[in-house]
Amino acid sequence: MDDKRIFIIGSGAIGRALAVFLREMEKDVILLRGSEEVDIEYKEIFQVNLPENKTVTSSIEVSSLNRFTQLDGIVVLTNKSFGNPGLAHRLKGKAEGSPIVLLQNGLDVEAPFMELGFNQVYRCVLFATSQLAFGNQLRFRPVAPSPIGIIRGSTDVLSGIIQALNSPHFPFEQVAEIQPIIWRKVIANCVFNSVCPLLDIDNGIFYRNEEALAVAKRIIKECVSIAKATVGIDLSEEEVLQGVVKISKASDGQFISTLQDIRQKRMTEIETLNFSVLRLAEKSGLGDLVRETRLLGELTRLKSDLSRSSGIS
């Protein structure tokens, strides 16, 4: 599978960075725009700025999904997860036999593909931050190897995916159990993707400011209790908190995707974060246990709605 063509759907900061690093390793990669209205095919040069003043530049083939009748290779999704229901239907006839690898935040973002019967579905938990800078430049910081695990599929295919996607600048690793890792990252994202946009501040706030860290601790406590009560995943609050602080330090000065989306007047992924935890809690009659997670999610959604409707940034 190492020589399979790699289709990356989603041309944001993560998708572009991944494409650049794969091309540097001479992989056959295409960056696809998923919009049905778009009909394009061209090459574009992107530059990724890494820590310690390192840069990687590659010429990437950019095309549109509607130009392909079949996606024979590895399909990597870096698009916003709220687009998955429509995307799953569009990929049903094009890629249902290909491995689908979701590099997305949130709970159950794979559900549309499972419901339509895709038989090779894999989830990745990203431990890297990427931010569009200016022009075709972006800033990328790896925190740790990003784990990929099976939602539906086989270990052999997963091993091939790791071999195909792994690179020195953007490493991946194979894991046997991905759900606990998904939950730890979801909880961290509930913290970053609500607090940082509401404070209009960078990710480093949690290790720089004790009051912000105290808010993070309360969100973590709420979400950990729901993970255990609803799906039986027993997480350590302290370990999740350490992960938040680690990410905060590693991405100091960078802005979380939800804040970037609000500033650009785009939809956010808050529905698959704070509100996904809330929905699980409410199904089990535990909605009162996530009051702060819910409130911060509601305020973030309101800020996003106001930004998109009135031009407020």
Strands (E), the chain: 6-9, 29-33, 41-50, 54-64, 74-77, 100-102, 121-124, 128-132, 137-142, 146-152, 172-174
CA–CA distance, 140 with 128 (Å, rounded to integer): 7
Q: Could you tell me which residues come within 8 angstroms of residue 244 by beta carbon, excluding any fewer than 6 positions away?
A: 188, 191, 192, 206, 216, 220
Computed over every residue of the chain, the mean pLDDT equals 94
Residue 133: predicted pLDDT: 86
Q: Once rounded to an integer, what is the mean pLDDT over residues 200-222?
A: 98
Q: Which residue, chain included where needed, has tokens 């990724």?
A: 48
Residue 311: pLDDT band by 50, 70, 90 thresholds?
low
Q: Considering just the CA atoms, what is the radius of gyration of the chain in Å?
A: 19
Domains, the chain, in order of start with CATH, read: 6-176 (3.40.50.720), 180-310 (1.10.1040.10)
* This model's pTM is above 0.85: yes
The amino acid that residue 267 corresponds to is M
Residue 146: predicted pLDDT: 96
Residue 250: predicted pLDDT: 86
Q: Tell me the pLDDT tens digit for each residue of 164-208.
A: 999 999 999 999 999 999 999 999 999 999 999 999 999 999 999
The amino acid that residue 250 corresponds to is A
Q: Once rounded to an integer, what is the mean pLDDT over residues 97-126?
A: 96
Residue 1: pLDDT band by 50, 70, 90 thresholds?
low
Q: How many other β-carbons are positioned within 10 Å of the β-carbon of residue 14?
A: 25
Measured between its terminal Cα atoms, the distance across the chain in Å is 44
Residue 251: predicted pLDDT: 87
Q: Tell me the pLDDT tens digit for each residue of 29-42.
A: 999 987 767 788 99
Does the structure show a pLDDT above 60 at 313?
no
